[in-house]
Structure 1
């Protein structure tokens, strides 16, 4: 199986930024650079910047913490994915049963399905584990907000 974040892309119809394509730190660095360029341009054109500009620049510099349940950035996704795959391989039986082999094939086959099917399947599997542990289940119809675009209220927006 091959997973490389740099090759991930959103559907062509998406107008949202690819959250998994760069880390929040990289995004904030780019925002600071852009803010500095805009500030320099504003300062030279009208001699000063407004207090609102200063507030916005300060928020960018501070890197306000985001919600814990936002889509992963590239560093979080990469580390988590490789940890999962290596752990899965490390615990794979030395002498796998036919069921073990079949389950591994299903897992790899599902990775080749389309995004919607795989994401809903993954959510349903997560909910099965949550039920066994007595935890709340996740509404799988919200998978795009939780794992791709961020919440509609904008709380995960950069």
Structure 2
């Protein structure tokens, strides 16, 4: 990923990214099934790989290698996320975040609704997205495959 030059935009991106990550971790199941663990681990690893700020992505990837995601429960995931955030804050000479309130601080406002659970169906590689059927996913993939982007640039965005 290309390096970002505007520190204000970089900080805004970081704040939004941390809010999303902490909110996801605060909504993670208290007793996740294996597929939920796989999904979260893949999400975190993918998040690091596609993060738009090159320096931040590289640092985050190194942190993931040193401190792998703790995905055994909601509390362990949220505390891991707070720990990682504090490692970043330490590197940036920012104040440490008090992790004791992390679950309360990142309430998404979704109430008590629960995500779809694992009913023993397909693996994460083959299962349809929540709320869709396999047919809908195949149609979406076919639609995406049919889209062609015309560009003379080899690399867009940087």
Q: Normalized against structure 1, the TM-score is what?
A: 0.30
Q: As a proportion of its length, which structure holds more helix?
A: 1
Q: Normalized against structure 2, the TM-score is what?
A: 0.30
